[in-house]
Amino acid sequence: MERKRKNKKFSFANIFRFSFVVLIFALSQTSCTEWLEVYPQNDQVSDYYWSSKEEVEAMLNGGYYYYRQMVTTQLLPLGELRAGHMFSRGAYSSLQEFRIKETDRNIANWGPFYEVINVANGVIANADKALANDDTYDENMMNAHKAEARFLRALSYFYLVRNWRDVPLILEPYEDDSQSYHVGQSSEADVIAQIKKDITAALESGAAKEYFNKRWENKGRATRWALYALMADVSLWSEDYAAAERYCDMLLHSTSPYAPTLLATPSHASWFSIFNPGNSNESIFELQWDEEEKQLNNLPYLFDNSSSSRVYAFSKKMTEMFIDEINYTRQHMVEEVRTLYGGFYCPMPNAYVSAETGYCWKYFGSGVLTEKRTSEHYDPNFIIYRVADVVLMKAEALILQGSSRWPEAVALINQIHNRANLGDVDIDPANTTEFELLECLLNERATEFAGEGKAWYDMLRFGRRDGFKYKESFLLARLLDFNKQASTSWFRSVLSDNNALFLPVWEDELENNPLLIQNPYYK
């Protein structure tokens, strides 16, 4: 639901002045996101809220709802387009071409992430009030709610730091008009430290759930497994590879019957089930829609190559990678798994020479070897983490801990590669280099997670680690190979400044908050 505001400027200031929570959702009998009530936007919810456990859950559920609203406006374009694996025909072409300006509200606006953060801050700060007011609300349930809120806050700050780097660090809800919303940016290091602190607190509380009562809740709400996956991801970003390995192992080596597991059956029917119907055993955390509840999204529409208005298409280079997989499996008389009718579908022989054909089938297909979705079935979930991601995160952590760990890393890459019926990767761990292993891993991630909002963050993480050791190889050269939306000279000119890897602060934020400083590249 679009909110009306007293001021047309959707700025950081307005989020904290008017929107402690605007949409309230409840975990009802039938749906995770049933809309219940819209509160007056010039009142503070804390004046009359926090009287029961249901109100805490309703508030918390608002955070998940905000994330659903961000999938096609933030999560997908910010995570994919700059990598060049997909190209955009619409409003996000400037993002892909690295021509972003501080006036680009659709791109430079960090406000939606702070809406989630403000919801999380409210639950963390005020759930104790509901505990005092509701005899049916116990401390274990309250701590479980706080663990979910800490996950949502940590995840939001992780998106913020990967896109804007230095951002305001807000840890208290806005509840009183006397509070100042003028907050300057904190450093990337400080934000990462807070993310880790939130995850650690959630895990150490012992209240983070291993499972919920409903299947969609197990995948659609933050669990202990989601916290492990997020911490592994954050540890890779901050170059703490031993910690990344440790948190991957907490999930991969768990003996709990509720732990997510890798779907290992080498068939595209099994692989495609990750996305349709979704909520598979491999899933760790995914944003939920349900056609039966009239909850639809436009993910299939965005990838519809039969429509002249399609927003996204795979780049020619990416399409060729899929076709290479298809040709391999045909040559070896095995079926395609994550490519043809799995993650990708090319409708006619050799059509891949033009990147105008081919569907992102994981969102667009209605089933394996069947038809595309029709509009009444536009309800694919959007996966944030699944076990294959954790397997490859561990491989990355092992590669970067030295050559003695390379055989283990190659075995993990092969686990995912073999599941796609592609045999082993062509790498001998005893006769290779760190660069060759990382390149192999990055290619594996590119094909496995195509369209899942990870490609740009992978390239950025690989390219900037160890003081931008691999900037030329994993950022510039790869960008030029995949992203043909601008000239080579333009990309080289832009990326000569490392600040250009991050987004500008939206001009309205700067106008409303004098403590903010613009990213130097955009000055």
Distances (CA, A) of 262 to 64, 256, 275, 281, 382: 25, 14, 14, 7, 18
| Token pair 């944003």 in the structure block, residue | 287
| Shared domain check, 178 and 113 | yes
Could you say which DSSP state residue 266 is in? Answer: -
Tokens (6 digits) for 170: 């807000």
**d(Cα 33, Cα 48) in Å, to the nearest integer?**
22
In a domain, 489, yes or no: no
Q: What does 411-473 look like in DSSP terms, one character per residue? A: HHHHHHHHHTT--S-S--TTS--HHHHHHHHHHHHHHHTTTSS-HHHHHHHHHHHHHHTTIII
Helices (H) and strands (E) in the chain, counts: 22, 10
Give residue 351's pLDDT. Answer: 42
**d(Cα 519, Cα 499) in Å, to the nearest integer?**
7
| Shared domain check, 226 and 195 | no
Give residue 343's pLDDT. Answer: 84
Please say whether the dihedral angle defined by the alpha carbons of residues 53, 57, 62 and 63, taken in this order, is positive or negative. Answer: positive
Question: Is residue 88 classed as helix, strand or coil in its secondary structure?
Answer: strand
In a domain, 481, yes or no: no
| Shared domain check, 311 and 165 | no
Domain of residue 17, CATH code: 1.25.40.390
| Shared domain check, 411 and 302 | yes
| Shared domain check, 121 and 82 | yes
| Shared domain check, 256 and 180 | no
In a domain, 383, yes or no: yes
pLDDT digits (tens), the chain, 523 positions:
333 333 333 355 455 443 444 444 433 333 443 433 333 333 445 556 899 999 999 999 999 999 999 999 999 999 999 999 988 877 788 999 999 999 999 999 999 999 999 999 999 999 999 999 999 999 999 999 999 999 999 999 999 999 999 999 999 998 776 677 799 999 999 999 999 999 999 999 999 999 999 889 999 999 999 999 999 999 999 999 999 999 999 999 999 999 999 998 778 888 999 999 999 999 999 999 999 888 999 999 888 766 555 678 888 889 889 888 988 988 999 888 888 778 887 665 444 444 445 678 899 888 887 778 888 999 999 999 999 999 999 999 999 999 999 999 999 999 999 999 999 999 999 999 999 999 999 999 999 999 999 999 999 999 999 999 999 999 999 999 999 888 999 999 999 999 999 999 999 999 999 999 999 999 8
In a domain, 328, yes or no: yes
Q: Give residues with Cβ within 8 angstroms of 193, minimum separation 6.
A: none
* pTM (2 d.p.): 0.92
Q: Among residues 429, 453, 477, which one ends one of the domains?
A: 453
| Shared domain check, 179 and 94 | yes
Q: Which domain holds residue 268?
A: 215-453
**d(Cα 416, Cα 110) in Å, to the nearest integer?**
34
Q: How many domains does the chain have?
A: 2
- 172, 125 contact by CB (below 8 A): yes
| Shared domain check, 438 and 412 | yes
| Shared domain check, 247 and 105 | no
Q: ω into residue 277 within 30 of 0, thus cis?
A: yes
Give residue 307's pLDDT. Answer: 58
Give residue 306's pLDDT. Answer: 64
Give residue 18's pLDDT. Answer: 38
| Shared domain check, 368 and 302 | yes
Tokens (6 digits) for 258: 């509720």
221, burial (CB in 10 Å: exposed 0-12, middle 13-18, buried 19+): buried
Please say whether the dihedral angle defined by the alpha carbons of residues 352, 478, 454 and 297, taken in this order, is positive or negative. Answer: negative
- 122, 46 contact by CB (below 8 A): yes
Helices (H), 164-290: 188-204, 215-220, 224-237, 241-252, 268-272
In a domain, 275, yes or no: yes
Tokens (6 digits) for 449: 């997670």
In a domain, 449, yes or no: yes
* Residue 382: closest CA among 452, 313, 450: 452
In a domain, 265, yes or no: yes
Residues in the chain: 523
